[in-house]
Structure 1
Amino acid sequence: MPFFMVYGAETVLPTDLDYGAPRVKAYNEEGAEASHQDAMDQLDEARDIALLHSAKYQQALRWYHRRQVWDRAFNIGDLVLCLVQSNKDRHKLSPPWEGPYVIVETL
């Protein structure tokens, strides 16, 4: 006998009700409610585990970023290069930097 799923619930055919199929006779409302509550608890637990995995990933990402990025302080009068943000109307062999620019003010 095939079981069909309809929005997460098994279907009960009218013939099963008429002829008293074993799964219809064995159905227990309290057991079904307990099973549903267990499934909801497992869903909450899975969400908590996913949240922990996400937090662990974010923590590792921050740690990696902190190791790769160095703080730099600029002083007035320093020469700096600026990365070109748009490659529109540029040749593929053109330099990726603009400048040099002179720092006139630090905030």
Structure 2
Amino acid sequence: MTPNRSTGFTPFFLAYGAKAVLPSDLDHDPPRVKVFDRDRAVKAQQDAIYLLEEAHETTVIRSACYQQTLRRYHERKIRGRILEVGDLILRRTQLTKDKHKLSSPWEGPYAVDEVI
């Protein structure tokens, strides 16, 4: 029911091409439910297919823009590091088999012997 930030649409709309009708909506008779007509619904469904294709194209464009924005933000926050001989570094633990959730995810410290 909540629109996705990256696409601008709800997942239900992207999957089915229509706004979701909740059971609570049926109890309170919203205008959308009151004016429902089966004959017009078939024609509206055909029209909705074209609108859904357009929404999918819009979603792809919005998603690409969102990913570019995230990439720019990430690149702004990342600082390049130049290691020198003698610096101390930590290495992320690769095996978590015998670890529990409070174990440190890092190994080390290790001293840099050679910069390649």
TM-score between both structures, scaled by the size of structure 2: 0.46
Pick 1 or 2: higher relative contact order, CA cutoff 8 A, min separation 6.
2
Return the structure number with greater strand share.
1
Whose radius of gyration is greater, 1 or 2?
1
